[in-house]
Structure 1
Amino acid sequence: MRRNSGLFFLLLWALHVMAQPHTIQGSLKTQDGKAVSHASVTIRNTEGRIVAFKSSDAAGNFVIPLPGIAPRDSLILYINHLGFAKVNIPLAANRSRYDVILEEKPIDLSEVEVKSRPRISSRGDTLSYEVSSFAKAADRSIGDVLRRMPGMEVSESGQINYNGQRISNFYIDGDDLLNDKYSIGTKTIPYAMVQKLEVLQNHQPVKVLRNKAFSDRVAINLVIKDEARLELSGQAKLGLGLPHQYDGELNTLLFNKKYKMLNVAKGNNVGNDLARDFTAFNLSDGLSAAGNSRPTALLSPGTISNPMLPKQRYYFNNSGSLNANNLVNLKSGLQLKVNINGLVDHNNLVYNSRSELYLADDTIRYTERQDIGRSPFLSDIGFHAMVNKDRYYLNHALKVAYSGETGASSLLGNGIEMHQRLHNRIRDFSHTLEYVPALKSGDVIELYWYLNHYNQPQTLLIQPGINEASLNDGMPFERIHQFAETPTWFNRVSAAYRLTGGVIRQRYGLGVINEWQQLRSALRLTQVDGHETPYLGSDDNNLHWNRHRFFVDGVYEYKRGDWEAALTLPVAIQQIAYRDGSFALDELDRRLLFNPSFNMKLMTNVEDYLSFNYHYNQEMGNINGVFRGAVLANYRSIEANDADLQERDNHSVGLRYNFQRAIHLLFVNAGITYTKSMANTIASSIVTDVLSRTVLLPFDNDVSSFSASGGVSKFIFALGATASLKASWNSSRFNQLLNGEALPFSNRSVTVNPSMEARLFNKVSITYSGTGVWTTSRLVNQKATVWVDDRRIRQFDQSIGLTYAPVKNTFLRVDGRHQHISQQRQAEISYFFVDATIRHRLVKWRTDIALDLTNLADVTAYETYSLSANQLGYSYYQLRGRMAVLKWTFNL
């Protein structure tokens, strides 16, 4: 018994010893016995990668826990400190303490070369920006640095473009953690964690298809520093201010090879729209690839448009959000990922408008005032399982989402006072399965399945009853109730075989697309005596819609030397059937569709290319174009249709030139595009001062547009500045049918966007960005072939920022924004906004303290003009006044 007990305790002791973390400890001293503090002490493997690190303390001591990932005798102890010679010591299996005497190594200042030139390198299709050489002390996130890199562009929504082209993927150390909702990453990831930003040109995300399929995509990859991969990090932020302001955030970050996470919880009432963190830029959930066109919402709260201002100026909110993104890479190559998004919000908007609709012999005027309260919410969960290897690709994705909004408003339209409430819900489920194996011959098979269910039921309530002359035979009534929904099932199954050998690579595919929809709507009027009656001007909609398409396609790709081209020849047999017994509607349409496309690319040298594309698309309308029953889309607009299924032929031709000199940090792009669309239907509107009726009628309608754009981005070494200039010109011709009169219009616009950011005197930096827009709308007199009723609007928006660092770790920033709008026969409008921030960094406490002062000029109202075809609009918005918020940011 004693022997067994002794063995038991011996086993416990052995397990206790095995459970103890292995550590390496020691001390650093000079030859005369002085302690060496703040030295970098790292443990690296034989490949030179850091597996653990610490800094020596004030007494020169260090203690480093060793992860159990490799034998101790396969690791090396590295010691580095400015002014001392570097030390490399291989670790011994039976030794845990290392007391090191450092040899002093004086620095010859005459040999030190100060290099302010930003570092950028190019290797094949990969362009690498060294983040530290573009960063400034006042920067916080990688997004701050990204905006300063020549060739890169970040919009206010967070979308990233490289040399004028939208990016397709955003990777963190090679993993697509955020899908295409990457704006949360650019706002949250500290720039100090990132070593390089890589631009992946001609990117192919599926490894088995690399060098086997044409691709002109551009992606971005953030290369995380070795030491930043080892530990969990994050930030806790708290802001409090006046009047009654709060702004908080808690985030956790971890980016290593096996596990990645980016989890963020936020809440504020300072005007930050948290919904932008969930913006999807490229429809990565498979919708665009599947060819799914979701039905548009039928009901809306009115005619409100957003002002040309940062949303923070006019967004009165109380918001909270959760954005959780977690990814695991298993040894088998399987990658598991879950993305969870949640948002709750309540916001208010006060809006006034005045519009004038110009007809040949009449002008229709409308005034509107709304005080709107909205309560949107969002919740979605996405699960992804993926294996992406050189021999095969397997992807399984499941997404479930439930979101919506409830909005209530007090409204005054052309002197009629009313209240309205819009209830909107979205239920969305999708499933994607892809399998792409490579055969022994090198050829590739592609299998794809996508299934989606989507529904958006809406209810619009308006009280009291309005427009009784049009809606209720002139009799007063109490309330309007409009309901509409379009439940949809969508399915796509396809298979393809790709021949990767030979001069011309070939891909042959076939598949089927199914779409089942039902459009249901009901317009009810509550009479004075309380009973509910249907709208007598039309029956309800109960429209059943089926679209089925069987398709085959051939893709032919050629690549030889500097030339690359791809020709796609898809042929489809399509059947559309729709019926609604209330309107004796029972239609069947079968036809053969042929939608070819051609892309060509010529590399004029290693960095520059010229591309050309042509697309022809023969498409049919959707369920929103054939319903017959009247739908009250908003309080002043009724929609219905009286035409057959819409047919549209679209031609698009584009030419683009891309020029870059990475070593000189110069990026240039230019392009032209021409599109022409020919349809067999036209929207006809009967407009009065109180109500508009829109009906789709069977008349030919041609729309054409031409656009030219260009941009240049350059780092100016003499000034230490990044400067860019973009310009575009657009012209379009189209027809409108208003009050029975055909009105051909031509719209033209010119846009110029200059910007620059420069560093002055080391402590001062200045930023500038501007936008100038000139818009002209003209009614074409076809008989006289001259332009008549010329209307022009000019808009200028300029921002300038000045950052000053009076002492180390203290930053003062002042931003000014000036807007000027002018329009013929209208008074000019000008605004000037001023914001300021004072921030101090407590390095020892790993804390930032900042005071944000917003709208110092106290601009509380905003007026603007808009111009569209023959309609001139004037809008008034209430803005947020002065705010002061004191913020603490603690780096975990």
Structure 2
Amino acid sequence: MPKINVSIIYLIKLQVLYTILYFGINSSYSQEVLLKGVVKDKTQPLYNVNILAKPKTKNTNLSFAITNDKGEYRLALQKNKSYTVTVSFLGYNSYTFEVTLIKDDVRNITLSEATEELDEVIIIEEIPMIVKKDTIIYDVKAFTTGREYKLKNILNKLPGIEVEKNGEVTVNGKKVTKMLVEGSAFFGGNSKLAVENIPANAVDNVEVLDHYSEIGFLKNFTDNDEMAMNIKLKEDKNNFAFGDINGGLGEDTRYESHAGLFYYSPKTNMNFIGDLNDTGEKSFTLNDYINFEGGASKLTQKDGSSRKNSIQEYANLINNQPALESRNRFAGLNVSSDINAKLSLSGYGIYSNVDNTYRREITNEYFFEDFSYNEEVTSDHEEDNILGIGKLSIEYSPNFKEEIFGDIQVKIIDNQSLEERFTEINTLLTDFIAETENKGLEINQDFEWHKKINARHTISLVVNNVFGTTKPKQNWNTNRPILGSLIPLSQEERFNLGQNIDLMHHTFDIVAKHYWVLNSKNHLYTTFGNNFLNQEYETKDFQILSDNTINSFDDFGFGNDLNFLINDTYFGLHYKFKIKDLTVKTGGYLHYYNWKSKQEDVFSNQEFVFLPDIDVKLEISPSENLKFKYRFLNNFTDAPEYANKFLLFDYNKVVRGNEELEYEQYQNGSLRYSKFAMYNGLIINAKIDYKRRTRFIRNQVQIEEIDQFLTPILQNTPETIVSGVGNLRKKIKKFNFKLNTRLQYATFQKNINNRNSEDERIDINVGSSVETRFKKWPNFELGYSMNFNKYNSVGVSTDFMTNEPYGNIQYAFLNNFTFTFDYKYTRFRNLETDITTTFDIANVSLLYKKNNSPFGFEISTSNLFNAEFRQNNSWSDFLISDTRDFIIPRILMLTLHYKI
């Protein structure tokens, strides 16, 4: 479609949506009036009181409100409609009155204390939303119409909850980190798999649990900032199977199929999710993979030290690059069972097989102090990636004061890829064919024991053991000799090079903690721990000659054979105290590091290091707080960085480690402000983060014509990163307004040809949107985002700007039809070259489904305007890349839905 037509369509779409917005706002405001006031007892205002207005006529929505910390409430009611208003609060007698308003009115209410405590179960059934200190409970039927299809459709209608496109769930701006169903983790707590697969008609209540801890008696000790969401099922879904199955066919033999099957009983739960498609839809992404990493308990992740894991680097099989063609096969089974009141077993298995074809065009600008050059790259790339994960967990609770956990997780990867790359540098043409094969295995074992000895003393013991191995193999075939000053290539018509890497990884970590409650305002925490790492790292680079003989590069500085060990023994002491609304936790960890690298020579070192930290929380009000954190941290890199021989990395790049490297040092501070005001529909989250690297590892780069030689070195010149994030949400009637900002300023050190320089980078992202929450009208979202990126280096400055207006609409009509449409227009501009690129992506679908029928029919089109590519940019120490990724063309699909 010509660009002018795309622009006209874009303007027409925006005009239609803005017209709907204008009339929707005017209609909403003209029909509603406000009932407001203060709820109190005899002495003071009451916080989190529930006010429910039930209409006496049909086709009128109920209204509810919750008081703020000043006892204030606001009810939006329909003009000239009669309501019965019920005011309820735990420990108080409920108060009921009737009201019919023709204009805004004020009604103050005084509650009297009850002689018997109210039944909380009855409250949950009658009141749409209950807010307590760390818990929010939603009765979903108060917010939904029955036309919702999946859990994500329900969550998007609940106040304060949002579901992002990547499946992440936020509540009042805070990310949900654990997803539960009937109290049990859903596929390890994965939110994306839950929101995309759990049927909407199975959900009864949604519980949000802030500061969530699996061990209840540790909640006040661990300073846990996790948030969990527990999905409560309807009673008729508690003892039989339910779910749905979809299948679709499209043009050019496109296909898709999906199954989500669930079985829940009082003691045993089973969930199965399966996908098979060639439309590019992924049930399992990189974020999901990270969530399944498992590993050490949260208790071991706050000791001030960290270390890199190269196995995970090599296992990065989930490619986020947009694909030109994609086949996805996914299956997951999750089972949990309560053997008895004390013993529970659970486990899951994941299988993911993704076949992708990529096409990429890149313009690389290499800039150095004395010279620069451009590289034009065209790449066609095929991948076949397989991932398998299996986990078995046991939980034993002999009594309410003791918890024992144990689990074993196994991960297997089998990845293969083929890339054909063509590059042009100053008329020098290179074609480069790269074949890669990588197989890996990782076994992860965890054991945790937690015991509350008495009211003052609690102890925890956590042990984590991980063994992993990965064996990447590469084969490169090129038309010209490469890295001629280093690699002794035998002359051939084409040059065929090989590389084998063998990396074994073993860690054993143990930590013991003692929590001592001195009194209700003062705690003392003691930690003893030891972290052990052992890595075996071998590499071979060679040339395969036409007669199949091997030309080894071992005699020319290649061929690593390294044993790398780190042992970190540490002791930590922290004091926590509370003064009114201020909570402070301060202390630190004393580490004894001992590390050794064995190659031709043995290099070893040891050192004592103290790492202090402080956490401060000020509770301004029950719905408003301020948090400050500051830490001194260390980071160890891993074996490949210490390996002191060459390794071929690309056709014009070779790397060599540095056996004399030490640990990195940096400081990290953050200040976070959050406010949630149900009274006026306002949510604010803001954070400023400061990181200062005082000692860090950077690659030293030597350039010879177009060849690059990289060696990691430890630099002591400070680097600084300052970033800020702000989110504001405001609800007005049926409209939700959002404003998001993200800013970052960073300085970076680099060393090229023995010359040090400092670069700076500025990133600015601003976005705003408005969306509606109507039950009868079409619901839509209109938004706009702007990204500005600036990179300054010696003699080089570059600026990129991306503008993205977008909109989507969902409309349920004629009782059985649901129409959805989403659209995004992207304008990408290089401000230095004044080159502008535009593209737009749109998707549309129409679903027909009767409420009393298990069948549904859907016709959909993805990439409606048949956009060819997506464009972005990236930076490194001496490289700016402008990239076009070609994407899957337009797909028209007819899908059959069946609900069990």
TM-score, with length taken from structure 2: 0.80
Classify the secondary structure of the residue corresponding to 1:778. strand
1:515 aligns to what?
533
Q: Does the C-alpha gap of structure 1 residues 693 and 297 become closer, same or farther in structure 2, counting only changes over 3 Å? A: farther
Given that 1:682 and 1:700 are in contact with CA atoms closer than 8 Å, whether structure 2 keeps it comes out as no
Post-superposition CA distance 1:762-809 (Å, at most 9, x none): 2412123432111111126xxxxxxx6432110122321123334111
CA–CA separation in structure 1 for the residues paired with 2:163 and 2:409: 28
Q: Does the C-alpha gap of structure 1 residues 736 and 627 become closer, same or farther in structure 2, counting only changes over 3 Å? A: same
Post-superposition CA distance 1:707-757 (Å, at most 9, x none): 12211123321xx12322110211001111223332311101111122332
Classify the secondary structure of the residue corresponding to 2:270. strand
1:23 aligns to what?
none
1:655 aligns to what?
671
CA–CA separation in structure 2 for the residues paired with 1:411 and 1:554: 55
Q: Does the C-alpha gap of structure 1 residues 109 and 477 become closer, same or farther in structure 2, counting only changes over 3 Å? A: closer
CA–CA separation in structure 1 for the residues paired with 2:287 and 2:549: 44
| Partner residue of 1:370 out of 376, 379, 382 | 379
- The residue identity in structure 1 corresponding to 2:276 is G
Output the aligned Cα RMSD: 2.9
1:833 aligns to what?
841
TM-superposed CA distance for 1:222, in Å, is: 1.8
CA–CA separation in structure 1 for the residues paired with 2:869 and 2:58: 60
2:409 aligns to what?
399
CA–CA separation in structure 2 for the residues paired with 1:159 and 1:666: 21
Q: Does the C-alpha gap of structure 1 residues 650 and 697 become closer, same or farther in structure 2, counting only changes over 3 Å? A: closer
Classify the secondary structure of the residue corresponding to 2:556. coil
Alignment of 1:873-892 (within 5 A): 873-892=881-900
Given that 1:364 and 1:688 are in contact with CA atoms closer than 8 Å, whether structure 2 keeps it comes out as no
Classify the secondary structure of the residue corresponding to 1:179. helix
2:624 aligns to what?
608
Post-superposition CA distance 1:336-365 (Å, at most 9, x none): 101100122211111121111222331121
Classify the secondary structure of the residue corresponding to 1:625. helix
Given that 2:407 and 2:446 are in contact with CA atoms closer than 8 Å, whether structure 1 keeps it comes out as yes
- The residue identity in structure 2 corresponding to 1:572 is H
Classify the secondary structure of the residue corresponding to 2:280. coil
Given that 2:406 and 2:446 are in contact with CA atoms closer than 8 Å, whether structure 1 keeps it comes out as yes
TM-superposed CA distance for 1:644, in Å, is: 1.4
CA–CA separation in structure 2 for the residues paired with 1:172 and 1:192: 14
- The residue identity in structure 2 corresponding to 1:777 is Y
CA–CA separation in structure 2 for the residues paired with 1:226 and 1:450: 39
1:439 aligns to 2:453 (yes or no): yes
1:241 aligns to 2:250 (yes or no): yes
TM-superposed CA distance for 1:627, in Å, is: 1.0
TM-superposed CA distance for 1:180, in Å, is: 3.6
1:190 aligns to what?
199
1:671 aligns to what?
687
TM-superposed CA distance for 1:219, in Å, is: 2.1
How many correspondences in the alignment?
A: 769
TM-superposed CA distance for 1:137, in Å, is: 5.4
1:799 aligns to 2:815 (yes or no): no
TM-superposed CA distance for 1:870, in Å, is: 5.1
2:116 aligns to what?
none
Post-superposition CA distance 1:13-71 (Å, at most 9, x none): xxxxxxxxxxxxxxxxxxxxxxxxxxxxxxxxxxxxxxxxxxxxxxxxxxxxxxxxxxx
Post-superposition CA distance 1:155-194 (Å, at most 9, x none): 4332333344333322222222322433111110122322
TM-superposed CA distance for 1:663, in Å, is: 4.0
- The residue identity in structure 2 corresponding to 1:233 is F
1:707 aligns to 2:716 (yes or no): no
Deviates more, 1:566-575 or 1:134-143: 134-143
TM-superposed CA distance for 1:565, in Å, is: 2.2
Q: Does the C-alpha gap of structure 1 residues 801 and 678 become closer, same or farther in structure 2, counting only changes over 3 Å? A: same
| Partner residue of 1:267 out of 270, 276, 286 | 276
| Partner residue of 2:524 out of 476, 481, 506 | 506
CA–CA separation in structure 1 for the residues paired with 2:206 and 2:466: 35
TM-superposed CA distance for 1:641, in Å, is: 2.7
- The residue identity in structure 1 corresponding to 2:137 is S
1:566 aligns to what?
585
Classify the secondary structure of the residue corresponding to 2:845. strand
1:599 aligns to what?
615
Given that 2:246 and 2:259 are in contact with CA atoms closer than 8 Å, whether structure 1 keeps it comes out as yes
CA–CA separation in structure 1 for the residues paired with 2:235 and 2:504: 50
2:750 aligns to what?
736
| Partner residue of 2:186 out of 163, 177, 184 | 177
Alignment of 1:377-776 (within 5 A): 377-387=386-396, 390-414=400-424, 415-464=429-478, 466-470=480-484, 472=489, 478-502=495-519, 503-535=521-553, 536-581=555-600, 585-642=601-658, 644-679=660-695, 681-687=697-703, 690-717=706-733, 720-759=734-773, 762-776=776-790
Classify the secondary structure of the residue corresponding to 1:360. coil
Post-superposition CA distance 1:614-634 (Å, at most 9, x none): 010133433232111111123
Structure 2: which 5+ runs fail to align? 1-53, 67-128, 299-303
TM-superposed CA distance for 1:642, in Å, is: 4.0
Q: Does the C-alpha gap of structure 1 residues 498 and 529 become closer, same or farther in structure 2, counting only changes over 3 Å? A: same
CA–CA separation in structure 1 for the residues paired with 2:749 and 2:317: 21
Classify the secondary structure of the residue corresponding to 2:217. helix
Q: Does the C-alpha gap of structure 1 residues 701 and 643 become closer, same or farther in structure 2, counting only changes over 3 Å? A: farther
Classify the secondary structure of the residue corresponding to 2:341. coil
CA–CA separation in structure 1 for the residues paired with 2:603 and 2:688: 41
Q: Does the C-alpha gap of structure 1 residues 265 and 384 become closer, same or farther in structure 2, counting only changes over 3 Å? A: same
- The residue identity in structure 2 corresponding to 1:516 is N
Q: Does the C-alpha gap of structure 1 residues 516 and 867 become closer, same or farther in structure 2, counting only changes over 3 Å? A: closer
| Partner residue of 1:204 out of 209, 213, 216 | 213
- The residue identity in structure 2 corresponding to 1:730 is Q
Post-superposition CA distance 1:370-402 (Å, at most 9, x none): 211100001111000013563111100111111
Q: Does the C-alpha gap of structure 1 residues 672 and 128 become closer, same or farther in structure 2, counting only changes over 3 Å? A: same
Given that 1:299 and 1:458 are in contact with CA atoms closer than 8 Å, whether structure 2 keeps it comes out as no
Deviates more, 1:756-765 or 1:647-656: 756-765
Given that 1:468 and 1:474 are in contact with CA atoms closer than 8 Å, whether structure 2 keeps it comes out as no
TM-superposed CA distance for 1:814, in Å, is: 2.3
Classify the secondary structure of the residue corresponding to 2:453. coil
Deviates more, 1:143-152 or 1:641-650: 143-152
Classify the secondary structure of the residue corresponding to 2:597. strand
- The residue identity in structure 2 corresponding to 1:392 is E
1:139 aligns to what?
148
1:855 aligns to what?
863
Given that 2:451 and 2:459 are in contact with CA atoms closer than 8 Å, whether structure 1 keeps it comes out as yes
2:101 aligns to what?
none
1:871 aligns to 2:861 (yes or no): no
CA–CA separation in structure 1 for the residues paired with 2:724 and 2:592: 36
TM-score, with length taken from structure 1: 0.81
- The residue identity in structure 2 corresponding to 1:498 is Y
Given that 1:177 and 1:326 are in contact with CA atoms closer than 8 Å, whether structure 2 keeps it comes out as no
Post-superposition CA distance 1:847-879 (Å, at most 9, x none): 111001122212223444445565332222222
Structure with max Cα Rg: 1
- The residue identity in structure 2 corresponding to 1:622 is D
Q: Does the C-alpha gap of structure 1 residues 864 and 604 become closer, same or farther in structure 2, counting only changes over 3 Å? A: closer
Percent identical pairs in the alignment equals 14
- The residue identity in structure 2 corresponding to 1:402 is I
Post-superposition CA distance 1:645-678 (Å, at most 9, x none): 2332211111111101134432111121111002
TM-superposed CA distance for 1:304, in Å, is: 13
Post-superposition CA distance 1:680-726 (Å, at most 9, x none): 65311234664322112354342111112211123321xx1232211
TM-superposed CA distance for 1:141, in Å, is: 1.3
